[in-house]
């Protein structure tokens, strides 16, 4: 799911970010990082990836206020998507902590 949110940030950087270079750059960087972490987590699960993604979600909420934008949609997108990132990563972490992990030989 985080890979899909990463794709959304990449696309949204050009659709709703407006002409603010900082908003576009932030959306692209965060989108690429989420895309990579989402694909990586699907292939090889490690619990620390969920915490990194949760921190990225916190950053997206903060960046909604940090980088001023003339578009309310940009701020709303950062806050709502950042919250979704946090919830999904914590949900994945909580679910994975209940699944028994294979023991190494």
**pLDDT tens-digit map of 2-40:** 788 888 888 888 887 565 777 788 888 988 998 888 888
The model's confidence at residue 83, banded by pLDDT at 50, 70 and 90, is: very high
Distance between CA 78 and CA 64 in Å, rounded?
5
Q: Comparing 42 with 90, which gets the higher pLDDT?
A: 90
User: In the chain, helix, strand, coil percent, each to 5?
Assistant: 80, 0, 20
pTM value? 0.73
């Amino acid at each position: 799911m985080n890979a899909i949110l990463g794709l959304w940030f990449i696309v949204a950087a050009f659709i709703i970010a407006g002409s603010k270079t900082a908003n576009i750059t932030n959306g692209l960087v965060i989108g690429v990082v989420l895309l990579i972490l989402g694909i990586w987590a699907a292939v090889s699960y490690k619990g620390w990836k969920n915490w990194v993604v949760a921190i990225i979600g916190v950053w997206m909420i903060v960046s909604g206020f940090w980088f001023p934008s003339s578009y309310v949609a940009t701020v709303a997108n950062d806050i709502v998507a950042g919250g979704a990132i946090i919830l999904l990563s914590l949900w994945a972490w909580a679910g994975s902590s209940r699944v028994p992990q294979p023991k190494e030989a």
